[in-house]
Structure 1
Amino acid sequence: MRTYSSGMAARLRFSIAAAKDHDVLMIDEALATGDRAFQRRSEERIRELRKEAGTVFLVSHNNKSIRDTCDRVLWLERGELRMDGPTEEVLKEYEKFTGK
């Protein structure tokens, strides 16, 4: 039996999920996994999925990936919705809140 590191397993799960079109696709920190080339391919595939009319949820703390991928952001803080709106507006407030 072959075992995979958590990074390899995440890449494999993302690749399988992104291989077909979905009505809804949820990605949890997948873009932070793997080398830069894989991250770039992942971001490109997410953009393709968005164009093909599916809904993509990206769950991430990586503001660059959020800016590159999303046009709307839901900011959850300790399980509560803190803000919902256009990416730049929400990230501006989030970055003030976190001091980043």
Structure 2
Amino acid sequence: MDKTSDAIKIIDKITNSDFELQALVEEASLNAEVAQLIYEARTNAGLTQKQLAELVGTKQPVIARLEDADYEGHSLSMLQKIAHVLKQRVVIQLAPIEHEQSA
């Protein structure tokens, strides 16, 4: 195994043959990405969590949970509400799984 400090490459090598672990890593990555997107959209709009919650018709703790990378309850309907009030749209796409080939 070649030495590397690239965390993604290290995780790929560890999970390469464990499909259950791969699925968990992918789910955690997706949750983190969604949380980051919500946070960036809100802050770019100059809104607090409370202000966004009021616009969406929910409470501030709901927005806080959505911005938490460990939260697993993201819903498409809530993402669409957030996107709408921030004058954005949700874009979803499927992409092929890319695996690094061993040399």
Structure number with the higher strand fraction is 1
TM more than 0.5: no
TM-score tier by shorter-chain length is 0.3 to 0.5
Give me the TM-score of the superposition, normalised by structure 2.
0.32
More helix by share: 2
Q: Which has the larger radius of gyration?
A: 2
